[in-house]
């Protein structure tokens, strides 16, 4: 027995559920009666497996971690990459692969599950994968880089998620499903059919009622042979045909396991051995294995309670699901298949719109039992909370409009992942002062797993009368979008008038640039005219980008990345003559760094004379439209992407926006211009152009989503015009399009669908106005550099010192590295630059 009356808990497995147990016990056991040792097989601490797919679209492994800082210490130890391979129940010890022997007073098995790989010959060939861990995804991504096609075996929830992921990796993907419909566990035949049509439209091939007989190696790839004799060649195969509980430790130590696997436990999650418990996907509780995280969390809470002497029991879990696959909403909840005796089904189907909804009600239509929603699941969160309750309206009306949120009782469950009720959320708002979704998430954990209840949380917040502050800063109570409307309507055109009429004080580094940007978007002349000059951030003030040492970089526009040899030579000459550092940017142009303020006009003079203009690299404005060479040169290209990119860059150049805007045009589906990483991206199809919106590189990468397909050039430009102008008018300050669309989703259910209603169907009746505003912008564009060069007063501000206009700032020092300058470090006005390694100070 351990010292200090401390007892030892050993947890096998550090997945989502094992981790939850550790946190739950820590919370319930502040005196630390339990010492915890966690033995984990994977090489990294627990991570969010539910969000695993986001790893492929840029979320890092570190971002996925679910382990809070400070979770592990002397009393709570985690050993990674050291799986348990032996359990000795008599000695009460476990032994790990590395030979570590750990004694326990209590043992919790939280080993999760493995994907089931059907025993078909060839399933172990190179190129066959499962989809469960970060390592699996690394391997799939490597393979996908070398192949154009993939097959997912299994058309269930996880299979479709994997298929979606393959598509996002640029792999042509087919799904092979044994059942006659997709997602057989969640939806019925009607819902499955709508789902199939929708995802087929989006480029995913589905082969239903198909059994795989074997897999063979063929021509450097794989060939799948089916029971009907047909075959399919592919570069890679992902198996996602269900899960198998990892119950090896129970089996080898004589504990009971279920017929189809799973460690048998009672309602308290305890095995027949009183010292051993099992939780999560490895456990068979109440006769079933749950493949969802929420019931696993409940089991963790039950065991934590029992370990400190409680008597919690695991209650039947909610297996409702809602997800979005390739932009299609799919949800099922309660008794989705109408298994309750005499249940009635009320169905609404619109195959053209791709919507299928079904409610299952009791035979007197008085109580809701469950339902299936495909194509439009906006009513999911509210409907789910009504299961088992009297209907508040006729089933038809509930199907069409969804229930009103005010109907939610305090005991109605809002977040099924974390088991949070409407009552606890109302309590958090009332008693803990939560005023926004982030606050609710922190206080109650609601909305932190799958996020499908976030719209409902928002509604509860609004109903409670707590409105999140959207004030721009201490000087303005209005949000940026509201201020935009005010300025547009009142036609005030100076900061002093605007702040006098609608704010207080003299402004700050938040509201001044925001108003400068609004004025610029509304076409109030040059951004350095009159008082506007005092509102600009230093980058806009000097029409160049400030660097760490106080020098600036200069980026001339290179529309679409196309550059003549003559112009290329001019850039080289300018860089050489002014001693600038040159680097190619990610936006297909050339950055000239190390320019001092007083040098900028002379640099621009040379560039403007050679036909260049400002590239607005310094502005919250359109940056570049990146392109590939397209059908003009490329043997794969199907459209002239370069010409389109140049046309668009010239159309939108100079348009000031809440944040920078980056774009791309690819001439074929190979996507060499990386258009899906951009705010708007265009990808050529055989029939025209596909438009994607809301992509983002940077801090939180995100793929742009398909907004419209097979557009003519004219249709495309019209849509992008509206998209840009609507973004300019309504986004928050420093909100990129990706975040803007997410915010629209929070507000309107589905941001993209909302944008289609506004920009295509003209639901708000503003399209003509947006079109006209954009045309005004195009008509009034002038080059900001040339305008300064032609204006003596503005030129007079490009000096190093008021009393020594041409004296170079003596604190700016460079050293050379690889044949070019770089700032001497540390940047300092005092003392000589530190010269490190094989570098020399240059005197200029």
Partner 1 sequence: MTMLDVRTWTAVCRYDLLQPERGAAALVGDVQVALFRTHDGAVHALSNRDPFSGAQVLSRGIVGTRGDVPTVASPMHKQVFDLRTGVCLDEPDTAVAVFGVRVRDGVVEVSSP
Ligand X SMILES: Cc1cc2nc3c(=O)[nH]c(=O)nc-3n(C[C@H](O)[C@H](O)[C@H](O)COP(=O)(O)OP(=O)(O)OC[C@H]3O[C@@H](n4cnc5c(N)ncnc54)[C@H](O)[C@@H]3O)c2cc1C
Instruction: Give buried/exposed letters for 17-37 (b at 16+ CB in 10 A, else e).
Output: bbbbbbbbbbebbeeebbbbb
| Cβ atoms of 392 and 386 closer than 8 Å | yes
In terms of CB distance, is 255 or 644 closer to ligand X?
A: 255
Token pair for 72:
């592990």
Residue 668 assigned as binding residue: yes
Question: Of 548-567, which residues contact partner 1 (CB under 8 A)?
Answer: 548-550
d(CA 20, CA 298): 9
Cis peptide before 826 (omega within 30 of 0): yes
Q: Which among ligand X, partner 1, none contacts residue 106 (Cβ within 5 to 8 A by kind)?
A: none
Reported as type and span, the H/E element at residue 689 is strand 688-693
Applying the rule CB under 8 A, the residues between 782 and 801 that interact with partner 1 are 797, 800-801
Output 61 or 510, the one with its CB closest to partner 1: 510
Continuous segment of H or E residues that includes residue 223 = strand 221-226
Q: Which does 797 bind (CB under 5 to 8 A by kind): partner 1, ligand X, none?
A: partner 1
**450 is annotated as contributing to ligand binding:** no
**H/E element, 546:** strand 545-546
Which tokens is 441 given?
A: 């998430």
Residue 152 or 158 with smaller CB distance to ligand X: 158
Q: Which helix (H) or strand (E) holds 788?
A: helix 784-789
Closest distance to ligand X from the beta carbon of 165 (Å): 8
Q: Which tokens is 174 given?
A: 């087919």
Q: How big is the CA angle at 319 (ends 318 and 324), to the nearest 5 degrees?
A: 125
Least distance CB 415 / ligand X (angstroms) = 12
Provide the CA 617 distance to its chain's centre, in angstroms.
25
Q: How many helices (H) and strands (E) does the chain have?
A: 26, 38
Stretch that binds partner 1, among 413-421, 519-527, 616-624, 808-816 (CB under 8 A): 808-816
Cα 266 to Cα 274, 276, 303, 475: the distances in Å are 11, 11, 11, 61
**Which of 127, 507 has the CB closer to partner 1?**
507
Largest separation between any pair of C-alpha atoms in the chain: 92
Nearest-approach distance from CB 82 to ligand X, in angstroms: 7
d(CA 783, CA 244): 64
Q: Which pair of tokens denotes residue 246?
A: 């990892």
Q: Give the nearer residue to partner 1 in terms of CB position, either 636 or 801.
A: 801
> Taking the CB of residue 608, how many other CB atoms lie within 10 A of it?
19
Least separation in angstroms between residue 601's CB and partner 1 is: 16
104 vs 618, beta carbon nearer partner 1: 618
Q: Is 628 annotated for ligand binding?
A: yes
Give the residue closest to ligand X by C-beta.
15
Residue 804 contact partner, candidates partner 1, ligand X, none, CB within 5 to 8 A by sort of partner = partner 1
Nearest residue (CB) to ligand X, 40 versus 520: 40
16 makes contact, choosing from partner 1, ligand X, none, with CB < 5 to 8 Å by partner type, with ligand X
Q: Choose the contact partner of 18 out of ligand X, partner 1, none; CB within 5 to 8 A by kind.
A: ligand X
112 contact choice in ligand X, partner 1, none (CB below 5 to 8 Å, kind-dependent):
ligand X
| 3 state SS of 643 | helix
User: With respect to partner 1, which residue has the nearer C-beta, 512 or 653?
Assistant: 512
Which is nearer to ligand X, 333 or 495 (by Cβ)?
A: 333
Beta strands in 240-354 (DSSP E): 243-245, 263-265, 276-278, 283-285, 321-325, 328-334, 344-350
Site for partner 1 in 702-741 (CB under 8 A): none
CA distance 26 to 375: 42
* Cα torsion 484, 490, 494, 496: sign: negative
**Alpha helix ranges (H) inside 447-507:** 454-463, 480-490, 495-502
Helix (H) or strand (E) holding 608: helix 600-609
Can residue 807 be called a binding residue for partner 1 (CB under 8 A)? yes
Cα separation, 768 vs 760, whole angstroms: 11
CB of 514 to partner 1, least distance (A): 11
# of chain residues touching partner 1 (CB under 8 A): 36
Chain residues that interact with ligand X, rule: CB under 6 A: 12-18, 39-42, 49-50, 52-53, 83-84, 110-112, 131-132, 158, 161, 246, 280-281, 291-294, 296, 450
CB of 684 to partner 1, least distance (A): 42
* Minimum gap (Å) between residue 776 Cβ and partner 1: 28
Min dist CB 515 to partner 1, Å, is: 11
| x/- map, 459-478, partner 1, by CB under 8 A | ---------------xx---
Helix (H) / strand (E) containing 25: helix 16-28
How far apart (Å, rounded) are the C-alpha atoms in residues 228 and 225? 8
Q: Which one, 251 or 506, has the nearer CB to ligand X?
A: 251
DSSP labels, 182-209: SSTTTS-HHHHHHHHHHHHHTTEEEE-S
811: contact with partner 1 by CB under 8 A: yes
Considering only residues 506, 583, 776, 844, which one is a binding residue for partner 1 as defined by CB under 8 A? 506
Handedness of CA 732, 735, 737, 738 (dihedral sign): negative
How near is the Cβ of 452 to ligand X at its closest, in Å? 9
- Shortest gap between Cβ of 291 and ligand X (angstroms)? 6
Backbone phi, psi, residue 704, to 5°:
-65, 150
* Binding partner of residue 809 among partner 1, ligand X, none, CB cut-off 5 to 8 Å per kind: partner 1
| Shortest CB 803 distance to partner 1, Å | 5
Task: Classify residue 820 as exposed, middle or buried by CB count within 10 Å of its CB (0-12, 13-18, 19+).
Answer: middle
Closer by beta carbon to partner 1, 545 or else 730: 545
Question: Residue 479 Cβ, how far from partner 1 at the closest point, in Å?
Answer: 19
For 309, the 3-state DSSP assignment is coil
Cβ closest to ligand X, residue 174 vs residue 186: 186
Q: Which of residues 475-504 bind partner 1 (CB under 8 A)?
A: 475
Residue 158 CA to residue 698 CA, distance in Å, equals 28
Which CB sits closer to ligand X, 204 or 638?
204
CB of 46 to ligand X, least distance (A): 7
Q: Which residues contact 611 (CB under 8 A, 6 or more apart)?
A: 567
- How is residue 383 written in tokens? 């409907």
- At its nearest, how many Å lie between partner 1 and the CB of residue 606? 24
Which entry of ligand X, partner 1, none binds 795, CB below 5 to 8 A by partner kind?
none
Sign of CA dihedral 389, 392, 398, 401: negative
Distance CA 351, CA 367 (A): 27
Per-position x/- string for 507-546, each x denoting binding to partner 1 as judged by CB under 8 A, each - no binding = xxx--xx-------------------xxxxxx--xx---x
Q: Which does 189 bind (CB under 5 to 8 A by kind): partner 1, ligand X, none?
A: none
Instruction: Choose the one of ligand X, partner 1, none that binds residue 13, judging by a C-beta under 5 to 8 angstroms depending on kind.
Output: ligand X
**Pair of tokens at residue 14:** 């550090």
Task: Determine if residue 415 is labeled as part of a ligand binding site.
Answer: no
702 binds, among partner 1, ligand X, none (CB under 5 to 8 A by kind): none
Q: Which of ligand X, partner 1, none does residue 542 bind (CB under 5 to 8 Å by kind)?
A: partner 1
Given a contact cutoff of 8 angstroms between Cβ atoms, the answer to whether 124 and 239 are in contact is: no
Give binding residues for [4Fe-4S] cluster as ranges.
628, 634, 668, 672
Give binding residues for siroheme as ranges.
672
Instruction: Name the residues that contact partner 1, by CB under 8 A.
Output: 474-475, 505-509, 512-513, 533-538, 541-542, 546, 548-550, 797, 800-804, 807, 809-812, 826-829
Give binding residues as ranges.
628, 634, 668, 672
């Amino acid at each position: 027995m351990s010292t200090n009356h401390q007892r030892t808990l050993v947890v096998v497995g550090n997945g989502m559920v094992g981790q939850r147990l550790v946190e739950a016990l820590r919370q319930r056991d502040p005196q630390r009666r339990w010492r915890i040792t966690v033995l984990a097989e994977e090489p990294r601490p627990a991570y969010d497996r539910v969000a695993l797919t986001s790893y492929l679209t840029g979320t890092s492994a570190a971002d996925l971690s679910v382990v809070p800082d400070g979770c592990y210490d002397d009393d709570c130890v985690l050993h990674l990459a050291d799986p348990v391979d032996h359990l000795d129940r008599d000695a009460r010890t476990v032994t790990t692969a590395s030979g570590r022997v750990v004694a326990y007073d209590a043992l919790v098995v939280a080993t999760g599950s493995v994907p089931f790989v059907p025993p078909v010959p060839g399933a172990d060939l190179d190129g066959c994968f499962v989809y469960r861990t970060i390592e699996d995804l690394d391997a799939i991504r490597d393979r996908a880089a070398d192949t154009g096609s993939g097959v997912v075996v299994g058309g269930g929830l996880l299979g479709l998620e994997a298929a979606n992921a393959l598509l996002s990796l640029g792999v042509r993907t087919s799904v092979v499903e044994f059942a006659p419909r997709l997602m057989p566990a969640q939806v019925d035949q009607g819902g499955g059919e709508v789902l199939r049509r929708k995802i087929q439209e989006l480029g995913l091939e589905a082969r239903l009622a198909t059994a795989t007989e074997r897999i063979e190696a063929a021509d450097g790839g794989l060939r799948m042979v089916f029971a009907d004799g047909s075959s399919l060649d592919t570069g890679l195969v992902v198996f996602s045909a269900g899960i198998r509980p990892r119950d090896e430790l129970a089996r080898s130590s004589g504990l009971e396991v279920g017929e189809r696997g799973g460690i048998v436990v009672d309602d308290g999650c305890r095995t027949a051995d009183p010292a051993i418990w099992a939780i999560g996907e490895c456990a068979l509780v109440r006769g079933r294995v749950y493949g969802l995280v929420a019931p696993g969390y409940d089991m963790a809470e039950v065991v934590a309670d029992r370990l400190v002497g409680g008597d919690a029991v695991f209650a039947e879990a909610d297996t409702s699901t809602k997800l979005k696959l390739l932009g299609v909403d799919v949800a099922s909840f309660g008794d989705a298949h109408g298994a309750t005796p005499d249940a009635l089904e009320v169905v609404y189907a619109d195959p053209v719109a791709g919507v299928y909804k079904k409610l299952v009600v009791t035979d007197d239509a008085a109580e809701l039992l469950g339902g299936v929603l495909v194509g439009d699941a906006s009513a999911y969160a509210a409907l789910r909370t009504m299961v088992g309750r009297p209907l508040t309206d006729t089933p038809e009306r509930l199907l069409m409009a969804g229930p009103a949120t005010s109907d939610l009782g305090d005991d109605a469950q809002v977040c099924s992942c974390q088991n949070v009720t409407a009552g606890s959320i109302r309590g958090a708002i009332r008693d803990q002062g939560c005023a926004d979704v982030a606050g609710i998430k922190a206080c109650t954990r609601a909305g932190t797993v799958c996020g499908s209840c976030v719209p409902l949380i928002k509604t509860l917040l609004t109903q409670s009368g707590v409105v999140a502050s959207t004030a721009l800063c201490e000087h303005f109570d209005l949000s940026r979008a509201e201020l935009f409307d005010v300025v547009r309507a009142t036609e005030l055109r100076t900061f002093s008038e605007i702040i006098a009429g609608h704010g207080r004080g003299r402004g700050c580094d938040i509201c001044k640039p925001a108003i400068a940007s609004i004025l610029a978007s509304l076409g109030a002349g040059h951004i350095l005219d009159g008082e506007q000059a005092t509102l600009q951030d230093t980058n806009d003030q000097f029409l160049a980008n400030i660097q760490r040492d106080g020098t600036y970089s200069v980026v001339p526009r290179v529309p679409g990345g196309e550059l003549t040899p003559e112009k290329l030579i001019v850039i080289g000459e300018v860089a050489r003559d002014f001693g600038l550092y040159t680097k190619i940017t990610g936006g297909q142009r050339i950055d000239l760094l190390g320019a001092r303020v007083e040098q900028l006009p002379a640099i621009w003079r040379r560039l403007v004379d050679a036909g260049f203009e400002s590239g607005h690299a310094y502005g919250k404005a359109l940056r570049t439209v990146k392109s590939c060479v397209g059908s003009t040169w490329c043997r794969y290209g199907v459209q002239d992407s370069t010409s389109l990119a140049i046309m668009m860059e010239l159309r939108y150049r100079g348009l000031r926006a809440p944040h920078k805007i980056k774009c791309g045009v690819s001439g074929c589906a190979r996507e060499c211009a990386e258009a899906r990483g951009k705010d708007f991206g265009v990808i050529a199809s055989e029939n025209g152009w596909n438009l994607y919106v809301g992509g983002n590189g940077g801090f939180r990468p995100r793929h742009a989503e398909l907004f419209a397909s097979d557009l003519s050039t004219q249709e495309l430009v019209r849509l992008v015009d509206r998209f840009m102008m609507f973004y300019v008018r309504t986004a928050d300050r420093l909100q990129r399009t990706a975040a803007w669309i997410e915010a629209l989703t929070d507000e309107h259910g589905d941001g993209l669908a909302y944008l289609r209603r506004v920009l295509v169907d003209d639901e708000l009746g503003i399209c003509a106005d947006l079109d006209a505003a954009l045309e005004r912008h195009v008509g009034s564009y002038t080059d900001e550099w040339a305008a300064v060069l032609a204006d003596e007063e503005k030129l007079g501000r490009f000096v190093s010192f008021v009393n020594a206009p041409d004296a170079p700032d003596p604190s700016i020092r460079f050293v050379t590295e690889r044949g070019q300058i770089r700032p001497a470090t540390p940047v300092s006005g005092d003392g000589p630059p530190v010269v490190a390694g094989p570098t020399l100070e240059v005197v200029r």
